[in-house]
Amino acid sequence: MKGLMMDYPLTTNIIIEYGNRVFSRKEIVSKLPDGSWHRYTYGDLYKRTKKLSNALINKLVVKQSERVATFCWNHYEHLEMYYAIPGVGAVCHPLNVRLSIDQIVYIIKHAEDKVIFFDATLAPLLEKVAPQVSPDIKYIVVNAPTGFKTSIPNVLNYETLIANESETFEWVKVDENDACGLSYTSGTTGDPKGALYSHRSTYLHALTVMTPNGANISSNDRVLLVVPQFHVMAWGYPFVCILAGADMVFPSMHLQPDALIDILQKEKITIANGVPTIWMGVYDALKNNPPKEKLALKEYIVGGSALAPSLTRSFEKDFGLKGTQAWGMTETSPLGTTSRIQKIHENLSYEEQLKIRSKQGYELPGVELRAIMEDGKIAPRDGHAVGEFEIRGAWIIASYYKFSDNASRFSKDGWFKTGDVGTIDENGYMNITDRSKDLIKSGGEWISSMALELALMGIPKIKEAAVIAIPDDKWVERPLACIVLKEGETITIEEIRTALSNEFASYQIPNSFVLLKEVPKTSVGKFDKKEMRRLHAIDQLK
Ligand code: AMP
């Protein structure tokens, strides 16, 4: 028997309608690429989004299900695209501006984008891409200064495009399972692969991220969206914030630590997201130039790579700022877990609590996790049995977009294989020891590169550390630690080995170290181990 409840499709249109109805005076602030500030409200967003939807249909002739790409920083115009494109039944496809030209060309061709909205400051990059992709693509420039010139063909100005369009528009009717967004993986292994989000998955993900066990965002918050809108759709925050009625602040390309601190202070930000490298930079900058007043920041949410306990501790002790770790992937929309301590942990010491918070956390309602051991059995939730994590749920991909080898990434019973390895404990906390491809097998024993990195970054003189496996005649593989020292510091190998010896068996401690100026990073700011392995193979890292 069917329930007798309304059929109410969960779509992105529902989100923006809700924001306009209930929170129309909430603020959206953008620090634009030229350094100027733009401020308007949810109500203004709503009207301009409708104008853009009209333009998409009337001027750009975008049809339902077609892909419309964005090549933009984080700002209000990009937010308008996030709602206007799905509003006409099309698919919003943010392109990662930090990928190589070849990868960007590959992705545009694979997605068959019909239109590309781009920031004027990114024109020099897109000029290299445009001759290599379909000549039928229409280009729209945003934030163009007067006299803007480019070799990109068919360029229209965003403001001219929407200027004479009506502020009324009836959203194109879609099924909640229709696609609304497309994100490609950052392609550290093979070609980038597309995760095609549905309206329903986007809505349910946003609703869950908003909850206290998730990112805990409400209408009292002012949120700084540091994660690029081209990285897993800014972790879904453009949808989360409007559902929550939170003010939103967009930094566009102003992501340097001092610029972020300035925004945190001036805009009285209460919640911000970002990868660990962003927060490492912010911490160092605060340390060099301590703020006169305590920041309003209640919590910074970190994901994309492990949050080192040493960083969490230093931020809390020095500035009273709380870091919360989350785990997810492009394929999981992205939020899968958040690491928060609970009532059962309240009597533990600070360091014991920190140990728990340094795990990746427990899964949010709507997703399920399991770890599969080498023998194919599900690992018991005992904090010891190691396996590869598999995940399923309402906002987890069921297959990649137009991809022939889906079978290898899913279990026979349909769970997505994450490629991350680790344990789940009796309270449900996932603890990642590595990406499976980054684990080091030395003399038949596994060594966790991630555990070594976190411990190395806990040594006060070390700023960054990344560990990769290198071939070894005797042990097959050995860890190589690549280290960046804090300014003005020196260190001996013996000091490092002694510091590691409390936590690690001697066979786990690296014998080989290299000192770097900077650890190579991926397009989304993670340590680029593929590049480090390549540099090592060609003798540049020895
Ligand atoms: P991406 O699809 O670029 O977001 O990358 C997803 C991968 O980032 C995951 O499979 C993990 O390997 C890694 N990752 C994300 N969050 C965390 C975290 N909190 N701790 C450790 N690794 C993480």
Q: Can 441 be counted among the known catalytic residues?
A: yes
Report the pLDDT averaged over residues 157-168.
98
> Does some domain include residue 95?
yes
Number of domains in the chain: 2
Q: Which pLDDT does position 187 carry in this prediction?
A: 65
Residue 524 Cβ < 6 Å to ligand 1: yes
Answer whether the bond into residue 212 is a cis peptide, omega within 30°: no
**pLDDT at residue 445 in the model:** 87
CA-CA-CA-CA torsion for 338, 343, 348, 349, nearest 10 degrees? 70
> Which residue has better confidence, 361 or 442?
361
Residue 304 reports pLDDT greater than 90: yes
For residue range 404-456, what is the model confidence (pLDDT) as tens digits?
A: 888 999 999 999 999 999 999 999 999 999 888 898 999 888 899 999 999 99
What does the pLDDT look like over 228-242, one tens digit per residue?
999 999 999 999 999
Do the domain assignments include residue 15?
A: no
Q: Say which residue the tokens 């995940």 belong to.
A: 391
> Which CATH number do you get for residue 111?
3.40.50.12780
302 and 524 in contact (C-beta within 8 Å)? no
Distance CA 37, CA 403 (A): 42
Residue 97 lies in a domain: yes
Q: What is the pLDDT of residues 457-495, one digit of tens each?
A: 999 999 999 999 999 988 899 999 999 999 999 999 999
d(CA 250, CA 273): 11
- Assess whether pLDDT exceeds 70 at residue 542: no
- Cα 176 from chain centroid (whole Å): 24
Last residue of a domain, one of 226, 255, 284: 255
Q: Is the pLDDT at 91 greater than 90, yes or no?
A: yes
CA distances in angstroms from 3 to 6, 10, 521, listed in the order given? 9, 17, 51
CA 328–ligand 1 middle distance (angstroms)? 6
In this prediction, residues 269-275 reach a mean pLDDT of 97
**Token pair in block for residue 154:** 């068919």
Q: Is the CB of 303 under 6 A from ligand 1?
A: yes
What distances in angstroms separate CA 176 from CA 10, 43, 211, 402, one per listed residue? 5, 24, 22, 21
Tell me, yes or no, whether 400 lies in a domain: no
Distance 264 CA to ligand 1 centre (A): 25
Instruction: Quote the pLDDT of residue 378.
Output: 98
Q: Can you tell me the mean pLDDT for 313-318?
A: 96
Dist CA 451 CA 308 (whole Å): 9
* pLDDT for residue 44: 98
Q: Which atom of ligand 1 is nearest to the CA of 435?
A: 12
Q: Is the CB of 325 under 6 A from ligand 1?
A: yes
At residue 444, the pLDDT reads 86
In the reported structure, the alpha carbon of residue 334 is separated from the centroid of ligand 1 by a whole-number distance in angstroms of: 9
Residue to mutate (ligand 1; options 185, 229, 327, 421; most atoms within 8 A of CB): 327
* CATH number, domain with residue 524: 3.30.300.30
How do beta strands 115-119 and 67-71 pair?
parallel
pLDDT at 539 over 80: no
Ligand 1 pocket test: pick from 103, 305, 333 the residue with the most ligand atoms within 8 Å of its Cβ. 305
- Does residue 329 sit within a domain? no
Q: What is the pLDDT of residues 17-74, one digit of tens each?
A: 999 999 999 999 999 999 999 999 999 999 999 999 999 999 999 999 999 999 999 9
310 pLDDT higher than 90: yes
pLDDT for 247 equals 98
Q: 165 — phi, psi (to 5°)?
A: -85, 155
In a domain? residue 529: yes
Q: Which of 237, 255, 273 is the last residue of a domain?
A: 255
Angle at 335 between CA 333 and CA 338, to 5 degrees: 175
Of 331, 388, 453, 464, the active-site residue reads 331
Asked if residue 361 belongs to a domain, the reply is no
**pLDDT-based confidence at 541, cuts 50/70/90?**
low
C-beta separation of 316 from 358 below 8 A: no
Which atom, in ligand 1's list, is nearest to the CA of 419?
10
- Residue 517 catalytic? no
Q: Which residue has the higher pLDDT, 542 or 253?
A: 253
* Residue finishing a domain among 236, 255, 274: 255
- The residue segments making up the domain with residue 232 are 23-255
Confidence of residue 188 (pLDDT cuts 50, 70, 90): low
Which tokens belong to 24? 């129309």
Confidence band for 93, pLDDT divided at 50, 70 and 90? very high
Distance CA 443, CA 72 (A): 47
Asked whether residue 69 is assigned to any structural domain, the reply reads yes
Q: Is 446 a catalytic residue?
A: yes
pLDDT in tens, 291-300: 999 999 999 9
